[in-house]
Amino acid sequence: MISENSKIINGKIIKIEKRKNSKYLYNIFIKDQKNNIYKTIINTRFFNTLNLNENISILGKTVKFGSIYKLLSRKIIYKGKSFDIISFH
């Protein structure tokens, strides 16, 4: 199921996984206030570090797989910085 419109996901980073064969790409898992879990890819060239339990906002479309949503990111807001991106997972 793919949502029709982009929406803003506000939540906390609950898990960070380094992607194989990549220096800068990480899988991150975000939990929102409704306890939904979202997974997306972030390029850490834009950020010095990613930290667990930090607030993050991502604008994107979601695709639900079981109990986890895949988040197709368009814009990331983290630690006061905003980046427009398009990511394909």
What is the domain-level CATH number for residue 66? 2.40.50.140
Q: Does the residue 40 lie in any domain? A: yes
Q: Does the residue 44 lie in any domain? A: yes
Distance, in Å, from the CA atom of 88 to the CA atom of 68, rounded to the nearest integer, reads 17
- Predicted pLDDT at 12: 97
Which stretches of the chain drop beneath a pLDDT of 50? 1-3, 87-89
Burial class (CB in 10 A: 0-12, 13-18, 19+), 76: buried
- Predicted pLDDT at 55: 95
Domain coverage including residue 78: 7-84
Q: Does the residue 2 lie in any domain? A: no
Tally of structural domains, the chain: 1
Among 30, 55, 27, 29, which residue's Cα sits nearest to residue 41? 27
Q: Does the residue 13 lie in any domain? A: yes
pLDDT by residue (tens digit) across 8-29? 899 999 999 999 998 888 899 9
